[in-house]
Chain A
Amino acid sequence: MLNHDKPHAFKLSLTINGHLVEREIPTHLRLIDLLRDDLRLTGTKEVCGEGECGACTVILDGQTVNSCLILAVETHGRNITTIEGLADIGDLTQLQKSFEDQHAVQCGYCIPGMVLTGDKLLERNPHPSRDEVKYELSGNICRCTGYHKIVDAIESAGDGN
């Protein structure tokens, strides 16, 4: 959360998980705070708040980004997918099922970011090597250090495509 003694309002309009969202927000509101506090999309997590850990990863116009490093105003008119929007409600993507099958979740805090990063990798490269998966995940930290199973989950979802 950024604090500011001279707040200024901005009429924001953007698409989140396929829905048009219109809100009046202060210009210093970070994207992650819009998602979590205003829209209650709490699947997106905040850990480090400085772009090191990737727990706050969302997809902005097709690319993974850290929502803690972006002001909500920067996303005006743009398109965002959070972990809540990856599959239809009540359903899971093949990659999400693979995280279940491989028991890739320990505390779970990093997992939304891991899934979104894995999802974009598989979209670009449906059969990544283990090294390619590891390279792609370098911006996502798992504090439980459960990397093996996470890499397994992405790799095996790739195999299944």
Chain B
Amino acid sequence: MKYYAPTSVKAYFELQSKLDSSSAVVLAGGTDLMPRFERDLPLPDHLIDLKKLSELSSIVVSDEQIEIGALATIQGLHDHSIIQDEFVAIYEAAHEFAGAQIRHRGTIGGNICNASPAGDLLPPLYAFGAVLTLAGPSGKRQLPIHEFILGPGKTVLMDSELLVSITLERKQLQSQFQKVGLRQSMAISVVSLAFVWGENMQNLTIAIGAAAPTVVTLDSINPARLSNQIDLIDIAIAPIDDIRATAKYRIRVIKNLILEFLRQH
């Protein structure tokens, strides 16, 4: 296995164009990739470490938006004052994310590109309408996160592309993250929810994780109507039975968490 650590995006694309994409794997924090190497994923012929692409690790704030580099760590998000103040659900998801050792390594880009149905940052990113910037050898393109993730482990990212940043509009919205796991921390979510809303509960959006192949987003919700017709949730979600919980339990927990949220607001 040859190891490469390019120091600029330009150098990355030059390297990448020379390698056969089927024999190359990119490495960011490694917190998902390394356990897969341990389990059953064969080591590739070429491993490209992205961590020296310092242009992808910064978090840039302007008046209208915050642009988070794909290599920003979970701890970096957690410690950022704008995330803490204006994107509370992202801060809360980062706070409950695994343990310190994983938060120090795991990246927001990795959490998105792995596209796990239980990825904890995903519901808040969907609820805030995160826009992703992808770079390819011939330029950049942008798309909303819900168009990027297709299913468990599946995204529209092409072999020649790199997720470079995640952009959030600073709309001064309120938000909350809720997670149910089998243990308070380090546990993979049984369900996770992000609530995002404006003044007077206007434009309530609920994003539900671990309840379908990808995050399910319900937007422009009328809170009073939803609390009277909570069973409408059944149409939107499609949870599975797995080692952590049954589908029936997941549906019940999701409804109870939503009802509890609506009662409190």
A contact set with B: CB distance below 8 Å: 2, 4, 6-8, 10, 27-28, 30, 49-52, 54, 57, 60, 63-66, 68-71, 73-74, 76, 117, 120, 135-136, 138-141
Which of the residues B2, B39, B102, B185 comes within 8 Å of A51, measured between beta carbons? B102
How far is the CB of B6 from the nearest CB of chain A, in Å? 14
Which residues in window 182-197 of B have CB below 8 A to A?
A: 184-186
Contact B102 A7 (CB under 8 A): no
- Chain-A contact segment, one of B42-50, B142-150, B225-233: B42-50
Q: Are B38 and A138 in contact (CB under 8 A)?
A: no
Query: What does DSSP make chain A's interface, helix, strand, loop or mixed?
Result: mixed
**A74-B49 contact given A8-B2, A27-B2, A69-B105, CB 8 Å threshold:** yes
Which residues of B (78-111) have their CB < 8 Å from a CB of A? 98-102, 104-105
**Residues from chain B with Cβ under 8 Å of A70 in the complex:** 30, 34, 105
Q: A138 is contacted by which of B5, B100, B105 (Cβ under 8 Å)? A: B100
**Smallest beta-carbon distance A11→chain B, Å:** 11
Bound complex: CA A65 to CA B184 (Å): 20
Are B51 and A74 touching (Cβ within 8 A)?
yes
B3 located at the interface, meaning its Cβ lies under 8 Å from any Cβ of chain A in the complex: yes
On whether the beta carbons of A139 and B101 are closer than 8 Å, the reply is: yes
Report the minimal beta-carbon distance from A57 to chain B, rounded to whole angstroms. Answer: 6
CB distance from A79 to the nearest CB of B (A): 14
Residues of A within 8 A of B45 (CB): 6
Contact A8 B105 (CB under 8 A): no
User: Given that A27-B2, A27-B3, A28-B1 are contacting pairs, would A139 and B99 also be in contact in the complex, using a CB cutoff of 8 Å?
Assistant: yes
Interface hub of B39, B99, B102 (most chain A Cβ within 10 A): B99
Known: A54-B101, A140-B99. A4 touches B1 (CB 8 A): yes
Given contacts A27-B3, A66-B102, A139-B98, contact A51 B47 (CB under 8 A): no
> Does B31 have its Cβ within 8 Å of any Cβ on chain A?
yes
| Known contacts A27-B1, A51-B102, A52-B186, A4 near B43 by CB under 8 Å | yes
**A68 — which chain B residues lie within 8 A by C-beta?**
34, 38
Q: Is the CB of B105 within 8 A of A139?
A: no
What's the minimum C-beta distance from A136 to chain B, rounded to whole angstroms?
6
